[in-house]
Structure 1
Amino acid sequence: MEKFLTEHLGVPKIRVRRLIGTQANTFPDDPSIPSRVNIIRTLLSVMTNPQIEYGDNIIVYYSGHGSHYSCSEYFQSRDTDSDDEESSAAGSGSIEALCPMDRNTLDTNGIPVPDISDREINTILFQISRIKGHRITLILDCCHSGGMTRDLPEPGVRTVSPLASLEEMLLAADETLKHFPNYRSVLAEDWLPDMNSHVVLAACREYEFAKEQRGKVGFNGIFTQDLVRTLKSGHLGEGSTYVDLAQSLPRSRHQTPVVAGKNKYSRLWFQD
């Protein structure tokens, strides 16, 4: 993906911030690894980066594991004394999450490091859009297969089982985000995502698996390979939209690419 951005889209290498690493050859406090702290810190730094002007294109790319949490495990346990049917229904959905490399290791306070919920990512992108504009593209090569993460059907699937505590994941996000303007608490049962701030391209639907295969250097996401191949193919014209791109991507029986966001019919990379 980095090669495509720099060689085909003309993004200067100095404008690319990359977090990458493996468990075997990195250190916990290394600022270049995709730890929870580094991922959140890097995203938040976009807001204060003077080199990024309002209306600039911002591309956030994540390739790795995802997970899935049932809201009922948390919200209904907080509301056991309530007979409000709407309140119960609000907590009956799910929360998807990205899995940082240091998930479930102990932080400096001896607390297990939680995943990064979709609520936290969405809130950060909303805050970025307030300062830098809405030309934000989020690309996710991972999966959040609900109900099936504890019994993976085959190797090469980009999902892992959820951690024990959904509450700790949401509380960690709330602590980071609560001081931002117009903050809608990620702890709210009736929380709704803001889909005006960005367009998201995802590897698969929430009940499907995103697959990976071994390449020359480690494993590579099949979605990323298909995405780059399609973008370089020349089949998409100057007026092609994000929807056109998603419809041009290969589909398999278990993996259907998804595009979402109020601006999904915008031209690719929000070209004028």
Structure 2
Amino acid sequence: MSSSKPVALITGASSGIGAVYANRLAERGYDLVLVARRVDRLHAISEKLTRQHGVEIRTLKADLTVENDLVSLEDLLRSDERIALLVNNAGNGKLSSTVDMCDVDANATLALNIVAPTRLARAVLPGFVKRNTGAIINIGSVMAFCTLPITTLYSATKSYLLTFSQGLKAELAETGVRVQAVLPAGTATEFYDHAGIPLSAFDQAAIMTTENLVDAALVGFDQGEDVTLPSVHDAGLWLAYENARSTLFGATQTGVPAPRYKRT
């Protein structure tokens, strides 16, 4: 890649949310590194966006559950100083009870939703901090604060990603580096096919298009939001949730058991 434009690296870029991010960021003038397992789709997206926007695009075939592929991506993030934005979009969400989920699906969920975004963030952050600029967008889920009998592991991993994002934001408060967590609700992607429940099983009125989701998330990013909930109309609900969480934590700092736990 030879141009002087900033580069955005997007994981899970072959379809859905990742593909729309590729389109929107190309519109904004970013050159792109698109990462996914389905390289044929990446090539098609790359050819289209190159024609439409005149950007340079590099496609990388990578399975982020495979150690060698993850290490190669870490090396790229550490070495390419043009990378200004990391979009951690790749994820997995097989819906099943903990007992019934097979080891392959459980391991993939942990690898894609926790291990990969953590390691990629750790790889890119030293350069961002050194240059005092850059951003990470972590694609989470509203299931970060809701657990159903078939979402136990998925919800737990998305809760981790939200907490990780908020922690990084606090760590980087005195720098020019930004972290945004995007928490979609139901979105029209191939997620549901992989999850084992068809999209048609849900109330279609509650399903957002990927285009609307990404456009809203980028507006939130432009507005400086650290956590963006594209489908939540009352922003006060998030503020109340965060205030309640802070109040609850403060109430733990007493060093004395609550009266209801008094031994009889």
Give the TM-score taking structure 2 as reference length.
0.41
Greater helix share, 1 or 2?
2
Bigger relative CO (Cα 8 Å, ≥ 6 apart):
1
